[in-house]
Structure 1
Amino acid sequence: MISAIVRIRSISYEAEGVLSFVLIDPAGAPLPPWEPGAHVDVVLPDGVVRQYSLCGDPGDRDSYRIAVLLEEQGRGGSAWLHEKVRPGTLLEIREPRNNFPLAAADRYVLIAGGIGITPLLPMMRELDRRGAAWQLHYGGRSAARMAFAGELAAYGERVRRYPQDECGLIPLAEILDPVATGTLVYCCGPEPLLDAVEKSCAPDVLRVERFHPREIETGPDRPMTVVLRRSGRTIEVPAEETVLDALERAGADVLWSCREGTCATCETPVLEGEIDHRDSILTPQERESGETMMICVSRARTDRLVLDA
C-alpha cells in the first residue's frame, strides 16, 4: 500500500471537541483520487495507525480533509492530532481506501451520530450533484458538539438535526418503518446507534461503517494451518494467536492497521477452507462468498486455510 507525506495546510474548529485538518502535497502535486465513503490511514510518529474518513470534496485533487474528535478515553491518536499538529506539520498517510462505497439506489436515507457525519458529507455532495432523492438524519449530544453546521444548513430541509439534550434520540422507528422499496440506508456513528439501525433494517438495504469492532460471540479458538499459495509457505497458527500474529512471527510480509477488524487493511483472498468471520466490515453476502478474510481477527472453521499470499 502506497504511503505519502502530506503537509497540514489549515486547521479549523468544527464543533466542541472536533477539529478538521486540510492536507496537501508539500510540492503541490495532485493527491490520489477517492470516492465518497473512503478513508485514509494516518501514521502517527510512534508508528500507530489511525483511520479517518475523507470529508472534503472528491473533485478537489489538491487537498484532503479529515475531521478528528478528541476522544477522552481514546488511545492517544486524537489527542496527538489536537495538541501537537499545527499548520505546516508533516504527516504520513496511506492512499485512500473505501469500505463504505456509495451504491446505486432510487433514494437514500443517511443516518449519522456524532463524528459519524464525516463519511456522509461527501455522499451528500455527490447525491446532490446527481439530483438523487436523499435525507440526512443527524444526531449528537448537543448542538455545540455537532460538527459542520454551516455546511449542513446549505441543504435546507434535506438535513434534520437532533441534538439529544433538546429533542432526544433520532426517531429511528419513524424514519425506518418501513424503508421504501429501492432505498438504501447508510449509517455511521457510535455502536448503540448502529445496533438500533441494524435491528430496524433488512441487511440488504443497510450499509454501515464502524469506528470500533462490534461484539461477536465466538466459540473456543483452535489451532489451524495456513498455507500461503504464492510464497509456498506453510505456517502453523496456535489457538492463542491470530493469523496475522502468526504470519508476522514467521516473517511473512503482511500489511495491517487496526488489528481489530474495522479497516480492511489486512483483507486477504482465501483460496481454500471455511472462514470463521469475526470482522466488522464484510456484508452477509461477502461473508457467504468466502472469498476474503480479515486475518487480524478472523479464523478458520476448517483445519486448513489456503491464502492468496
Structure 2
Amino acid sequence: MSSEEPSNPLFPPLTRDNVLAFQFSSWYPKFRQISIKSTVIRPLSKEFREYLDADGVFLPEGSEDQYVLTTALYSVIDGDSDDSHPGTKYAFPELDAQIRQAIAEYDGVFPKLNFSSPRDASWILPAGSPMKCTSPADVYMLLKSSDFISHDLDEENVFDGCEPPSGSQPEPYALELVLRKWYSVDPSRELRCFVRQGRLIGISQRDMNYYEYLNEPDTSRRVLGSVREFWEQNIKGKWDKCPTYVFDILLTRDLSRAHIVDFNPYAPRTDSLLFTYEDLRQLATSSHAPELRVVDSRSHPAVTRNAPANQHNMLPLEALQMSNGLDIDTFAGKWEEEIKKTLED
C-alpha cells in the first residue's frame, strides 16, 4: 500500500492486492497456530456460486436437510409469485462430502466465504448453538438465508473503492468456503482492533451489549495490556500485507491471551463499532493510543434498540415449523388460518 498523504485522509488508498490479502485463505496459513481451526475449500464451482446467487431459499439435493424451507415459503410471506423461481435443480455431492468430513473432524462448524460470514442468518439454527452446522444442509441454509455473504459473490462489490489496477495482470478472485471449528463463544470477549500505519490505535468491544465487568478499571487495564502484548508478539512483525488494517480477536477466559478471528480492510465496509473513523484518524496522531472502548451503560445508544439484530432477515419460527412437509397450497391455507386466529385473539 502506498504511504498516506500528509493531509491524513480518513482512509488510506486501497488496491486490489490489498483487498485479496484479507481473504481468509491469504492470511490463515501464517496465523493458523493462533487462530481457530479451519478448513478452506477452494475454488468453488461456478454452479455453486450460481446456487448462492439464485433467488429464494432452497437446498441442494442430497444435503440431508433438517428443515423443509423452500422458495415457496418465502414467496408466500413476501407476496412474490411462485413463478419467479426458475426451478433449477442443484446437487454438490463432492462439496457435501468435504463438508461432512470437516464436521466429523470438528464436531460442528460455522461457515463463511472469503470475507463475509452469515451472522445475519444465525437465527435459522437452534438458539442454543447459533451458527453451529452439523450437516451440509445447515451450511447451505445459513449461506442462502444471509444478505451479508452477497458481498463476496460479486467482484464489483469485493473491489469497490479500489484504485485502478496497474498494467500487470491482477490476481484472479476465486470464491472459497471456509468451515471453522464451532465453539460456544462468550461475545463479551470479542474485540475489534484498528491499526494505522503500523500502529495499534483503537480497540472496540464487538458485541453491542453492556457487560459490567468490562467497565471495571482493573479489567479494562488487563484487556488493554493483553491486546497490546498479543498484537506486538504475534501480529505486528508478521502481518506484511499493508500497514493499515483491522483485526478481530477472541480473548481467553482469563483475558490474558487471544485467538485471531479475522482480518479486515481499513475501509468504509468494515464497521468501526464504538469508534467513528474520524475518531480513529485523531487517535492515529495521539500519544494516548491505543484507546479501549466498551459499552459503558445499559442506556448506551448501542443497547437501547429493542429490535433484535438483523430482524429484517427473519422469518417467524411458527412459519418455519408449519412449512415442514407441506406443499405451497396447503401451507398458504394453514398460514392464513393462523393469522386470522391471532387477529381474533
Structure 1 length-normalised TM = 0.28
- Bigger relative contact order (CA 8 A; separation at least 6): 2
Structure exhibiting the larger radius of gyration computed from Cα positions? 2
> Which has the larger helix fraction?
2
